[in-house]
Amino acid sequence: MDEEKENKTITINSVDIAPGQNRSVQLNIARLPTGTLIDIPVHVFNGKEVGPTVLIQAGLHGDEINGVETLRRMLQDNCFSIEKGAVIVVPIVNIFGFIHFSRDVPDGKDVNRSFPGRKTGSLASRIAHTYTEQILPQVDFGIDLHTGGSQRHNHPQARYTSGDAKSEAMAKAFNAPFYFSSKLIAGSFRKTTYKMGIPTMVYESGESMRFDENAIAMGIKGVENVLQFLGLVSKGKKVKQELSIHLESTRWIRAARAGMFIPQIANGQAVEKGETLGLVTDTFAKKNKKVKAPFDGHVICINHQAVVNQGDALFHIGR
C-alpha cells in the first residue's frame, strides 16, 4: 500500500491505534467516593486505508439504554469490520449516570448541557472536557444515539442541524421512519461538534430505562446505513426499505387540564387535523377533554404518563 493512502494513527489517553489495528482504551474520568476509578470504555477500529473517522456513541444520558444495547450488540456481532477510515465506538459516555439509573451525574448536572466543559469544573463539566479534548479532535463525523425521556416514547427518528448539509445527508441515509432538523442547545454535545466542524446526527427511539427491540434493530441498521453512506464499508446486498419521511416542522401538544391521560392513537401514526389523539379525564367520569391534532402530520412521540398536569407534553407531532 502506498504511504499516501495509509490511514492516520488515532491516539486516545496516550494509547496509539495504528492503521489496521483494533483496540479498546479506557478514558480516565474520575473516582467514586470509595476510591474506585471510573473510566469510559472506548473501542477503536482503525482501517488500513484512508477515510473519515466516525464517532458512534450512546449513553450520554445514563438512563437512555436503548443506544447502549444497540452498540453492545454491534460490538458483539463484529459489525465494525471497516475497510476505510476509522470508527470510534463509545457505548456509555455518562458512566456515572448509567450506574445510578439516572439521566445526570450524581451532582444533578447534565453532561449534555456541559460541553465543551472545563478541566476544573463540575463532574459533568470535567467529563465533557476530557471527552472534547481526547476524542473530538480526531473525529470527522458523529452519530449520537438517544432515547426518549421518562415515560416519553419516541418513535424512531433521526435529527440533524439546520443548515448543515452533511448532517442532514447522514440523517437521511440513516433511514429511520422520520428525519427532521432540531435546534442546537447550549452546552450540548451536538452544538460543540457543530462549532468544531464535525457534522453530527442524533437517533432518538424508545423511552428511558426500557429496552425496545424495534428501536434497537432500527438503530443497528441505521448505523450500518451511515457507515456505508460515508464509504467505510462496501455496500451490501440492497434490501428494500421504506423511505424516511422528512418532517418540515414539529410541535408538542400539551394538556389543557390535569387528569388521567388516555392516548387513542399509535406512535408513528399519520393523523389528520382535528382528529382525536387522546383524552384527559377526571377520576369521577364527569369531564373529558379531547386532545386533537392541530394539523395533518405524524405522531413521533407519546407520553405514557397515566396522570398528567396542565401543560404537560402529551404528543409530539411532525408536519
Report the chain's mean pLDDT, rounded to a whole number.
95
What one-letter code names the amino acid at 307? V
Whether the Cβ atoms of residue 212 and residue 205 lie closer than 8 Å to each other:
yes
Cα–Cα distance for residue pair 30/99, rounded to 1 Å: 14
Whether the Cβ atoms of residue 219 and residue 67 lie closer than 8 Å to each other:
yes
β-pairing verdict for 313-318 and 250-254? antiparallel
Residues 6+ apart with CB under 8 A from 78: none
Predicted confidence at residue 86, as pLDDT, reads 98
Residue with cell 476530557: 130
pLDDT tops 60 at residue 49: yes
Over residues 136-152, the pLDDT tens digits come to: 999 999 999 999 988 99
Cα–Cα distance for residue pair 154/208, rounded to 1 Å: 10
Whether the Cβ atoms of residue 260 and residue 283 lie closer than 8 Å to each other:
yes
Rounded to 10 deg, the angle between the 213-229 and 165-174 helix axes is 130
- Quote the DSSP letter at residue 6: B
Cα–Cα distance for residue pair 102/209, rounded to 1 Å: 9
Strands (E), 122-164: 141-148, 152-160
- Helices marked H in 23-177: 65-76, 95-99, 123-134, 165-174
Residue with cell 488515532: 10
Residue 22 has which C-alpha cell? 483494533
pLDDT tops 60 at residue 4: no
Predicted confidence at residue 125, as pLDDT, reads 96
- Domain 247-318 classification at class level: mainly beta
Predicted confidence at residue 284, as pLDDT, reads 84
Whether the Cβ atoms of residue 87 and residue 140 lie closer than 8 Å to each other:
no
Domain ranges of the chain: 3-229, 247-318
- Mapped onto helix, strand or coil, the DSSP state of residue 40 is strand
- Average pLDDT (45-67) is 97
Phi–psi pair at 201, nearest 5 degrees: -115, 155
Over residues 187-212, the pLDDT tens digits come to: 999 999 999 999 999 999 999 999 99
Beta bridge partners of 251: 317
Predicted confidence at residue 76, as pLDDT, reads 98
β-pairing verdict for 141-148 and 200-207? parallel
Cα–Cα distance for residue pair 141/81, rounded to 1 Å: 18
- Average pLDDT (27-56) is 94
pLDDT tops 60 at residue 1: no
Over residues 94-128, the pLDDT tens digits come to: 999 999 999 999 989 999 999 999 999 999 999 99
Over residues 152-170, the pLDDT tens digits come to: 999 999 999 999 999 999 9
Alpha-carbon dihedral 175, 210, 317, 194, rounded to 10 degrees: -60
Cα–Cα distance for residue pair 27/281, rounded to 1 Å: 50
> Does domain 3-229 correspond to CATH entry 3.40.630.10?
yes
- Mapped onto helix, strand or coil, the DSSP state of residue 110 is coil
Predicted confidence at residue 147, as pLDDT, reads 96
DSSP character string of 300-311: EEEE--SEE-TT
191's enclosing H/E stretch is helix 189-195
